[in-house]
Structure 1
Amino acid sequence: MIYLDYNATTPIDKQVADAMIPYIYGNYGNPSSNHELGERTKEAVAEARSKVAKLLNCSANEIIFTSGGSESNNPVLKGVAHTYHHKGTHIITSEIEHPAILNPCNYLEKMGCEISYLPVNKNGMVDISKLDKMITEKTILVTIMHSNNETGTIQPIKEIAKICHDHDVLFHTDASQSLGKVPIDVQELDVDFLTIAGHKLYSPKGIGALYIKNGIKIESLIHGAGHESGRRAGTENVIFDVALGKACEVAQEALQNNKISQLTEYFYYELKNIFGNKMQLNGDLDNKLPNTLNISFIGYDGAKLLADLGEDIAASTGSACHSGATSISPVLKAMNVPSEIARGAIRFSLGKYTTKEELDIVLKRLNDMHK
């Protein structure tokens, strides 16, 4: 299989798998237990939390382990709506957010919240000039993704955070797609909340984390015993916590390696050589994730083109959460990509195991089909 769908999910890194093994077969204690096995797992969770915090440049006590990106997003949206309802009920997001943001927003709208949606330009960048005008005295939260999962466009998070804080409004960013691909420093970005999804980072599905800046308190989504400093009840998932910690440690070491960006650039310009003006990049070439290309092949149907490439090539005609949909991607629609061009879109997302030889196979097949 030639796997070019790393934005959908990643394989588990061997170093991550190896780190999990001692907690699968031997160290099975409950971190809340006051005996040796409990102490071992308690220390393992604390070490994992510190590794996640180090990658984000924050304190370990600002990290909450969750079951993934969706669970990290929901406590922010619903927790802020509940805790700050006395201040207001207005939340701002963007038109290109992942369903893990849009659907909780839809839910909150039914509960009486007002949701506003920032538009984006042709490159998929939010229009921050409109944010200042959207914020009202009832605005309690702004949530904008760090980078888009379909186009890879990176948003001006630091600038958005400043606008929010100038208005005394909390700011959340979903960095599920970005972490490990580009440096993320929560101190520099000055965000109040940040979401992590482990399976985008070479750790297992079913683990994630939420950064909450010290001093901010919101109502917990899951009530029970006092796990995660009382912010997320449930016995700690030690095996997966350790996995995410190791994945963050590995990612920190790999951030300086530009192999993926070089391969992505090579692939893009080779595609240009083949298709010329019969292809269009959807997104911002100069301000995107280093592994992501959303390409519209003009005059082609993206789904058919991908199928014709062969079953041994894995890519996507949109995000994984939209697979099976017959309509064009909502993200491309928000970017005002004409429907006839959007229909030919394929997202290629590379990863640490991608090779030039694999890309050359894909390029040859595309070239043969284009002739």
Structure 2
Amino acid sequence: MNPIYLDYGATTPLDPAVAAAMEPWGVAGYGNPHSAHLWGYQAKAAVEIARDAVAALLHAPPETIAFTSGATESVNWALKGLLTHPSNTRRRIVTLATEHSCVLETAHYLESLGAQLTIVPVRANGIVDLGDLERALGEDVALVSAMLVNNEIGVIQPIAAIARAAHAVGAVMHCDAAQAFGKVPIDVDALGIDLLSLTAHKVHGPKGVGALYRRPFTMLTPLLHGGGQEDGRSGTLPTALIVGLGAAARIAGERMAGDREHALALRDRLLASLTVPVEVNGDLEARWPGNLNLGFPGIAAPLLSLLPGLALSSGSACAAVTGRASHVLTALGLSEPAAKASLRLGFGRFTTPAEIDAAAAQINAVVTRLSQDAA
């Protein structure tokens, strides 16, 4: 039997309705959306419908949305594009210690080219102290980057306050919304976001497509040079994938409140079903309820290999490739062994209460056995 899938933080199951929306554009609707004939016009119309759906979920004008291959490309374009644009005279980036590796590694790359990088720590609950952030800012800061919903611990950063602090020193505000898009309400104007990166596969859409929101007059150097199809992002648009992103956005908008209530009920059910000592990594209230990162006091052994019936992780899928401890959990103050022994459980739209009960039973059994062996 397949393990119970509890790794929604890594990727979400493709919604069948999204797959159905994509299907006509994978075979029959093969026109290039940039071509000036009927096939191209039909594909372009489908792309623009998707653009409208993505923009609506951000309360943004459609013309501010550029399609990319995913959140990593969007982040790279936002950071590299801003720091290398001739109009930018500032050289410093400020970000948080718990950001996704695509933000941190891009920032480190720019640092190797001469930019300055300031990484602000977070409190033990995973949320930044605004005083620490403000003390890190100055008029040399070009960009502040902060994630809305953390991919490993699910905590929600105070983006509006962070953006106000960034704008007070004349910096641009970038938000990694890969884990937030379609799950929590986002209004780019109300939050003060200038650049926002997102992806489809975290919200029941296909892999390989995402978008970058860019506030008008935010100047970026193109990341990919060529035909300039997406206002600076060159390359033929993948119609079927973009249609999938648009469908996922539309469905998420319709189901956002219900999806949240479902995830919250599953989270509370799981916590109530765990009979072993457990600690929640990250703030329990200011978080997306479909992400639950758990530590088990006294347990230092990596638990993943002992839970073959569960498909989950101990950190991001990116970190799993290297085998290193989660930088997010160590930023919260966990030791490396404790971080490696933690479990990230992601669940949502298609997770059932029976799966949560089975997962809790497996975790209880393994942790109990390890505790008895250590006694």
Q: Return the TM-score normalized by structure 1.
A: 0.95
Partner of 1:319: 316
Aligned AA for 1:293?
L
Matching residue of 1:26: 28
Counterpart for residue 359 of structure 1: 356
Is there any run of 5+ residues in structure 1 with no aligned partner, and where? none
2:342 corresponding residue in structure 1: 345
Q: CA deviation at 1:168?
A: 1.3
The count of corresponding residues between Structure 1 and Structure 2 is: 364
Q: Which runs of 4+ in 1 moved over 3 A?
A: 324-327, 338-341
The aligned counterpart of 1:262 is: 265
2:107 paired residue among 99, 105, 108: 105
Cα distance in 2, alignment partners of residues 142 and 84 from structure 1? 19
Contact 1:298/1:344 (<8 A) preserved: no
2:273–2:357 Cα contact (<8 Å) kept: no
The structure 2 residue matched to 1:308, chosen from 306, 320, 324, is: 306
Which position in structure 1 is the counterpart of 2:144?
Answer: 142
Report the more deviating stretch, 323-332 or 281-290.
Answer: 323-332
Taking a change above 3 Å as real, the CA distance of residues 26 and 325 of structure 1, as seen in their structure-2 partners, is closer
Structure 1 residue 165 displacement after superposition? 1.1
- CA distance in 1 between counterparts of 2:323 and 2:39 reads 52
Residues 300 and 343 in structure 1, CA contact (< 8 A), matched pair in contact too: no
Partner amino acid, structure 1, of 2:106: P
Change (3 A) 1:43 1:333: same
Conserved? CA contact 1:91–1:141, under 8 Å:
yes
CA distances 1:137-192 after superposition (whole Å, capped 9, x unpaired): 21110011112111101100000111111111100010101112211111211100
Name the SS of the counterpart of 1:180 in structure 2: coil
Residue in 2 that maps onto 1:297: 296
Give the partner amino acid of 1:335. L
SS of match in other structure, 1:195: strand
Deviates more, 1:335-344 or 1:185-194: 335-344
- 8 A Cα contact 2:94 2:143, kept in partner: yes
Q: Distance in 2 between matches of 1:22 and 1:100?
A: 33
Give 3-state SS (helix, strand or coil) of 1:103's partner.
Answer: helix
Distance 1:86 1:176 in 2: 26
Amino acid at match of 1:309: L
Q: Quick one: percent identity of the two aligned structures?
A: 39
Name the aligned partner's letter for residue 284 of structure 1: D
The residue that corresponds to 1:71 in the other structure is 73
1:245-265 deviation line (CA, Å, top 9, x unaligned): 000001001111011111112
1:340 CA drift (Å): 4.7
Distance 1:345 1:85 in 2: 45
Counterpart of 1:179 in 2: which secondary structure? coil
Q: Specify the code of the residue in structure 1 equivalent to 2:237.
A: E
Check the 8 A contact 1:141/1:170 in 2, yes or no: yes
Q: Following the alignment from structure 1 to structure 2, what is the Cα–Cα distance between the partners of residues 94 and 18?
A: 39
Alignment gaps of 5+ in structure 2: 370-375
CA-atom RMSD in angstroms:
1.4
Mapped contact 2:139–2:170 kept (Cα < 8 A): no
What is the TM-score when the length of structure 2 is the normalising length? Answer: 0.94
Per-residue CA distance 1:351-371 (angstroms, 9 max, x = gap):
211111011111222333316
